[in-house]
Amino acid sequence: MADLDAIVREIAEELRARPDRGEVASYIPELARVDPNQFGLAVIDAEGRVSAAGDCDAPFSIQSVSKVFTLTLALGKIGDRLWRRVGREPSGSPFNSIVQLERENGVPRNPFINAGAIAVTDVIVSGHKPREALGEILRFMQFLADDDSIAIDDKVAASEQRTGFRNAALANYMKSFGVIENPVDFTLGVYYHHCAIAMSCRQLAMATRFLAHSGVQPSTGRSVVTRERARRINAIMLTCGHYDGSGDFAYRVGLPGKSGVGGGIIAVAPGKASIAAWSPGLDAAGNSHLGRLALEMLVKRTGWSIFGP
């Protein structure tokens, strides 16, 4: 698409001027001190052409965006048996909640709320030392993005670990129901570290390509997951990818996507493109304010909504 470059550039310019940028996550100092004036956008079309603008090469903490990739890994490891340990329904909770766990015997509603992502991480940890499991996740990200320089920000991970009492509560709660197999500290340690992977929009858009193209990473031609599994991961992103703002994201943007509290969002236009947007300021629901706006503008201008041309 000849104009894609232009569209991406225009969006970046329009958003740069916006005074409303949301609030940067402040629960750990490492995230709080990120400059809110940054904005990046990268789109990779079916032919592999990259349209990118703004701070599209600045690395940021991918946080919950990593949950898409750990879900992919865990499905590769134990297949549909995963669904005995985590559901795939939207949570419908105003916050990332422990209430639902109590009501449903410690089985988290979906792999994209914190509890669910911890349960998914636990699957990857099983049979490994934490360090090995983490290595596997990191190598998977490097492979998908075709970039060995991707690394974990240990400071972010350490800070999350020091203050992550809510996540420790979720993990211990699931452990009391047998949903977590490994020592809670092992699983949480791996969880905090994969959330602390640092990547740029360009790298994330590259890593996401297989979900836009029937499970195949087009640049290498290598199959990451089956066609059906790619579709299904997209379906879960659509219904559960933005916590309790998932319905609104589907309504406004109309693409499967996943956001993180670091301000990153990935999105998938099936058959057409993979996308990553980033801006550190968050809206009330914890999703990147400008990132979501960028996706809304992009879909409006490209007609990529999955809900109709």
Alpha-carbon span 235 to 42, nearest angstrom: 22
**Which range in 67-75, 127-135, 166-174, 193-201 contacts its own copies by CB under 8 A?**
166-174
Torsion, Cα of 214, 218, 220, 224 (10° steps)? -20
Angle between helices 227-240 and 66-78 in degrees, nearest 10:
140
Binding-residue total with its own copies (CB under 8 A): 60
Angle between helices 4-16 and 289-302 in degrees, nearest 10:
150
Pick 1 or 285: Cβ nearer its own copies: 285
Interior/surface letters 284-303, b for 16+ CB within 10 angstroms, e for the rest? ebbbbbbbbbbbbbbbeebe
Nearest approach, Cβ of residue 253 and its own copies (Å):
9
207 binds its own copies (CB under 8 A): no
Q: And the tokens for 96?
A: 């990332």
Q: 86 with 110: CB under 8 angstroms? A: yes
Pick 137 or 174: Cβ nearer its own copies: 174
182 binds its own copies (CB under 8 A): no
Say if residue 64 carries a ligand binding annotation: yes
Q: 195 with 148: CB under 8 angstroms? A: no
Instruction: Please list, in sequence order, all residues whose beta carbon lies within 8 angstroms of the beta carbon of residue 47, skipping any fewer than 6 positions away.
Output: none
125 binds its own copies (CB under 8 A): no
Which of 214, 217, 287, 302 is the binder for its own copies (CB under 8 A)? 214
Which of 238, 261, 294, 297 is the binder for its own copies (CB under 8 A)? 238
- For β-strands 273-278 and 264-269, DSSP reports them as antiparallel
Binding pattern for the stretch 66-105 against its own copies, x by CB under 8 A and - elsewhere: ---------------------xxxxxxxxx-xxxxxxxx-
Say if residue 192 carries a ligand binding annotation: no
Pick 55 or 160: Cβ nearer its own copies: 160
219 binds its own copies (CB under 8 A): no
Say if residue 114 carries a ligand binding annotation: yes
CA distances from 8 to 53, 67, 75, 265 (A): 6, 26, 33, 15
Q: Which of 43, 191, 272, 299 is catalytic?
A: 191
| 173 annotated active-site | no
| 67 annotated active-site | yes
251 binds its own copies (CB under 8 A): yes
| 300 annotated active-site | no
Say if residue 182 carries a ligand binding annotation: no
Alpha-carbon span 158 to 195, nearest angstrom: 11
Positions that interact with its own copies (CB under 8 A): 87-95, 97-104, 109-110, 165-166, 168-173, 175-176, 184, 211-214, 227, 230-232, 234-236, 238-240, 244-248, 250-251, 254, 256, 270-271, 305-309
